[in-house]
Amino acid sequence: MAWRLFEEQDHAVLYQKYRLPSPSQIRNLVLSYLKRKKGKPFTLAVDIGCGPGQSTRGLASYFEQVVGIDVSGAQIEEAMKVDGPENVSYRRGLAEELEFEDGSVDLVTAGAAAHWFDMEKFMKEVERILKPKGCVALYCYRPPFELHYNDCSEQLTQIVQEMFKTLGPYQSEKCHIVQNEYKEIYHAITFPDKESIQQALGASSSETVLETKWTAFCLLASKP
């Protein structure tokens, strides 16, 4: 079963405004893995659960074509409003039914999204659409998050940690997969050649003028 909690227009608008682009450290990790396992040319990357496209657009300079896929029409609408690079396009679609030719894709990514997928069906599609030695990268982030701004970093961090503690019991059960650092997802990846990497990250957002620090984990696997 796929989970669909991000469908509304107002949700998509907030995502467009406030979500940070995928961290460059994660992108570099994924690209060097793909280079090592498959090598160039990098023709087609597909970003599943792309939301309003922050995670998709960051791949544009490295591939001939990048396609963002999301089950939510509102998220795709928001993504399409951005004057993005010309080689990036977006389509509404399901992670479990990917409309790409067999053996046509170099890289499949999913940022903060794979825990919502039906992993068994998703992996069948990944196996089908990837080129030989093509790669899949599934990454996400876990609290505690630190927020930094002038001299109120400590209070801000305390507020965000309190927020997680208070809302935690009401989260979807799927969020446990994130707290568990994607261990279930690692086991659901059917390619034997796979690895799991953790990375401490920092980023700043021009909208909020805040600096953030948190931990990302990234699962990387390569098709035989």
Ligand X SMILES: C[S@@+](CC[C@H](N)C(=O)[O-])C[C@H]1O[C@@H](n2cnc3c(N)ncnc32)[C@H](O)[C@@H]1O
Residues that bind ligand X (CB under 6 A): 2-3, 6, 19, 22, 48-51, 54-55, 69-72, 75, 94-96, 111-113, 116-117
Minimum distance from CB of 160 to ligand X (Å)?
17
Report the residue number, 45 or 48, with the smaller CB distance to ligand X. 48
User: Radius of gyration of the chain from Cα atoms?
Assistant: 17
Minimum distance from CB of 167 to ligand X (Å)?
15
Report the residue number, 60 or 153, with the smaller CB distance to ligand X. 60
Report the residue number, 111 or 134, with the smaller CB distance to ligand X. 111
Dihedral sign from CA coordinates of 180, 38, 66, 55: positive
CA pair distance 151, 154, nearest whole angstrom:
8
Query: Strand, coil or helix: what is 15?
Result: helix
Minimum distance from CB of 158 to ligand X (Å)?
24
Q: What is the DSSP letter of 127?
A: H
**Are 179 and 142 contacting, i.e. CB atoms less than 8 angstroms apart?**
yes
Report the residue number, 20 or 156, with the smaller CB distance to ligand X. 20
Minimum distance from CB of 216 to ligand X (Å)?
11
Nearest to 179 by CA among 219, 152, 141, 127: 141
